[in-house]
Amino acid sequence: MTRMDETVKGSTTGDDLENRPVASPQPEDLMPAVPRREWTDADLFRLSRGTEWFISHDYEGHELGDYFDARRHIPILYALAVNVNWGEPRLPRPKAPPQVLEVGVRHGVTTMALLHAMREANGLLTSVEIDPYCAEATRRRVEAAGLLDWWDLKIMDCREYARQARPYFDMVWVDGDHSEEIARHDIETFGALVRHNGILAAHDYFGWPDPDLEYGNLPPTTGVTAVVDGLDRRKWEVLTLAHSFGLTICRRI
């Protein structure tokens, strides 16, 4: 089911991909690849704890800084995805498995959380990533965790994927390029593929902390901010959480 598309948009060459180091997952940081009814708090902590290296360093090992706050949305995304097509828990879980789209893989942090949800709900996660190095680093983590069966990886520009994507998704997670042009494309284009009562979630509504700002001030906005603020409230219920640089959760009405 997993597919590594050969046509890749971007400047990274095959030689670059071969020569650049890939962070290997440590066994103690991987979730066990066995079915379970639900994660415990300890399980969720272990998954977020295992992402610390990816968040605090770039892929060449250069230190970026400590971004612990970026990991708080992991259990939220997992909970949304695992129950997204099960609106009434007093009834049996629907036979139709959930279909989830992830736009932007990068470190693979949210990919892992969404894949654990898909394994539990027997759904499918389609992930779109333009950078082949990021995609391969994440693929190795996914393979080591035994989650490939629930994953369809597309290595291409999100705009190229949009031309072949078909409705409807139960949930779309947008965390790609945060320029207003691309954010508008991703939120509006893929948001139109979300089914009635489905979920569209987007990251970085507030942006990233500015070291020149005093503690407690909101960080600068991103292109995501303008697009989310412009969503038609007759079609979307919108909730933005302040942590994780702004996690916006939208339900299609």
Give pLDDT tens digits for 7-57.
Answer: 333 333 434 434 444 443 343 333 343 344 455 555 555 555 444 444 455
* pLDDT confidence of residue 90: 83
Domain membership flag for residue 17: no
Q: Are 178 and 204 in contact (CB under 8 A)?
A: yes
Domain membership flag for residue 219: no
Residue 168, preceding bond cis, omega within 30 degrees?
A: yes
* pLDDT confidence of residue 29: 39
Q: pLDDT by residue (tens digit) across 96-122?
A: 899 999 999 987 888 988 999 999 999
Instruction: Check whether 172 has a pLDDT greater than 70.
Output: yes
Domain membership flag for residue 237: no
pTM of the predicted protein model: 0.74
Domain membership flag for residue 145: yes
Domain membership flag for residue 195: yes
Domain membership flag for residue 111: yes
Q: What backbone torsions phi and psi does residue 49 show, to the nearest 5 degrees?
A: -65, -35
Residue 200 has what DSSP assignment?
E
* pLDDT confidence of residue 9: 37
- The helix/strand/coil state of 218 is coil
How many domains in the chain?
1
* pLDDT confidence of residue 196: 92
CA atoms within 13 A on the CB side of 232: 7
Domain membership flag for residue 136: yes
Domain span holding position 102: 67-200
Q: pLDDT by residue (tens digit) across 227-247?
A: 999 999 999 999 998 877 889
What CATH number does the domain containing 164 carry? 3.40.50.150
Domain membership flag for residue 244: no
The residues pairing with 169 across neighbouring beta strands, listed in sequence order, are 194
